[in-house]
Amino acid sequence: MLRPPIKHCRDCGTAVVYRLPDDGDTKERAICTACHTVHYENPLNVVGTVPYWGQQVLLCKRNIEPRWGKWTLPAGFMELHETVAEGAARETLEEAGAQFEMEGLFSLVNVARVGQVHFFYRARLLSPIFDPGQETLEARLFSEDEIPWDEIAFMTVKETLRRYFSDRRAGAFSIHAIDV
């Protein structure tokens, strides 16, 4: 779902208009009719992990919309003043209550149609015991053949999981850039 367009200036509250700025920019921007502030609309970052325990990955059953009751990797929107890795770790703690060690960046998934970029890191679980937060109905480990593929909440998660299991079978992990 796309965010609604900007209607009022964040600086002075006056209504904005969408037009090309006078500085030679080639994209229409929200421009204040009073103070002439140009407001840029940028993608949102979603950050998360692919937590694994041996041959299994940890999935969380969503207790929030969208996609209530569907399975996902622990992930959510990045907050201000945190790095991508810090946000991914925070979301994994909040949603799964997992103990883990962060590893490398695994996937960068562009979802241009909704103005998002998703980043997933591999995370080695230190324990198979979880304490899910309020956004999660259940946190559970799945082997590849147990993944409820038809119950995965988001295409970004499905594509990341497919590549994770493919890399694991190949015995080497790389960074994946994906457009969905």
Residue 125 in tokens: 């679980």
Query: Are 13 and 88 in the same domain?
Result: no
* Average pLDDT along the chain: 96
For residue 3, pLDDT over 70 is answered with no
The predicted-structure confidence for 100-111, as pLDDT tens digits, reads as follows: 999 999 999 999
How many structural domains does the chain have?
2
Q: How many CA atoms lie within 13 A of 119 on its CB side?
A: 18
DSSP string, 52-66: EETTEEEEEEESSSS
pLDDT tens digits along 119-158: 999 999 999 999 999 999 999 999 999 999 999 999 999 9
* Residue 90 and residue 160 share a domain: yes
Q: Please indicate, yes or no, whether residues 86 and 64 belong to a single structural domain of this protein.
A: yes
Tell me the whole-structure pTM to 2 decimals.
0.91
CB within 8 Å of 50: residues ≥ 6 apart: 57, 73, 106, 107, 120, 121, 122, 123, 160, 161, 164
Is 58 found in the same domain as 29? Answer: no
Domain identity same for 121 and 55: yes
Rg, Å, the chain Cα set: 19
| b/e burial code for range 86-98 (CB count within 10 A of at least 16 → b) | ebbbbbbbebbbb
Q: Are 67 and 146 in contact (CB under 8 A)?
A: no
One domain, residues 49 and 124 = yes
Give residue 107's domain range: 44-179
32: domain CATH number is 2.20.70.10
